[in-house]
Amino acid sequence: MRINPNITSDVLSSIYATQQQENTALQELSTGKRVNVPSDDPLAASLMVGNQDQTSRNDQYLQNVDSLNNQMQTADTALASVVAALNQAISLGVQGSTGTISSSQRQQIAQSLQGIQAQIVQLANTEIGGVYLFGGTTSTTTPYEIDSSSASGVQYNGNLGTNQVEVADGLTVQTNLPGSQLFQNANGDVFGSLQQLINALQTGTASDAATATNAVRDAYNSITENRIFYGNVENQLNSTQTFLNQEKVNLSSQENTLVGADITKAATDLTQATTAHDAALAAAAKILPTSLLNYLATPTT
Partner 1 sequence: MPGLSTSMNIAVQALMADQGALDITSNNIANVNTPGYSRELAVFQEGPPVVEGNVAYGSGVTLAQFQSVRDQLLQLRIYEESGQQSNSQAQLSALNQIQTDFADPSQGVGGALTAFFDSLSQLSTNPTDSSARQQVLTAANSLASAFHQSELALQQVQQQMDQMVPQTVTQINQLTTQIAQLNAQVAEMQGLGQDPGTTQDQRDQLVQQLSQLVNVSVTQSDHGITITTGNGVPLVVAGQNFALQSGAATNGLQGVFAQGQDITSQIQGGTLGGSIQVRDTVIPNLMSQLDTLASQFTASFNSANQAGFDLSGNAGGNFFTPLTSVSGAATSFGVAITDPSQIAASSDGTSGSNGNVTNMLAVRDQQLPEGVTPTQAYANLVLAVGNYGATAQANVTASGASLQQLTDQRGAISGVSLDEESTNMIQYQRAYEAAARVVTTVDAMYSTLLSVGVTK
Which parts of this chain interact with partner 1 (CB under 8 A)? 1-6, 9-10, 13, 36-43, 45-53, 56-57, 59-61, 63-64, 67-68, 71, 129-132, 135-140, 159, 161, 163-166, 172, 175, 291-293, 296
Q: Residues 9-16: contacts with CB within 8 Å, 24+ apart?
A: 11/280, 11/283, 11/284, 11/287, 11/288, 14/280, 15/277, 15/280, 15/281, 15/284
- Write phi, then psi, for 173 (nearest 5 degrees): -120, 145
User: Closest approach of Cβ 253 to partner 1, in Å?
Assistant: 16
Shorter beta-carbon distance to partner 1: residue 105 or 157: 157
User: Closest approach of Cβ 225 to partner 1, in Å?
Assistant: 25
- Give the torsion sign (CA, 98, 103, 109, 115): positive
Contact between 232 and 173 under an 8 Å Cβ cutoff? The reply is no
User: Closest approach of Cβ 115 to partner 1, in Å?
Assistant: 30
Shorter beta-carbon distance to partner 1: residue 71 or 193: 71
**Half-sphere exposure in the Cβ direction for 33 (13 Å, CA):** 12
One-character DSSP codes across 63-85:
HHHHHHHHHHHHHHHHHHHHHHH
Shorter beta-carbon distance to partner 1: residue 67 or 88: 67
User: Closest approach of Cβ 157 to partner 1, in Å?
Assistant: 12
Shorter beta-carbon distance to partner 1: residue 136 or 188: 136
CA 180 from centre of chain: 28
- Nearest in space to 151 (alpha carbons), one of 191, 182, 204, 96: 191
User: Closest approach of Cβ 161 to partner 1, in Å?
Assistant: 5
Shorter beta-carbon distance to partner 1: residue 61 or 230: 61
Bridge-based pairing of strands 131-132 and 171-174 is: unpaired
User: Closest approach of Cβ 289 to partner 1, in Å?
Assistant: 11
Shorter beta-carbon distance to partner 1: residue 165 or 206: 165
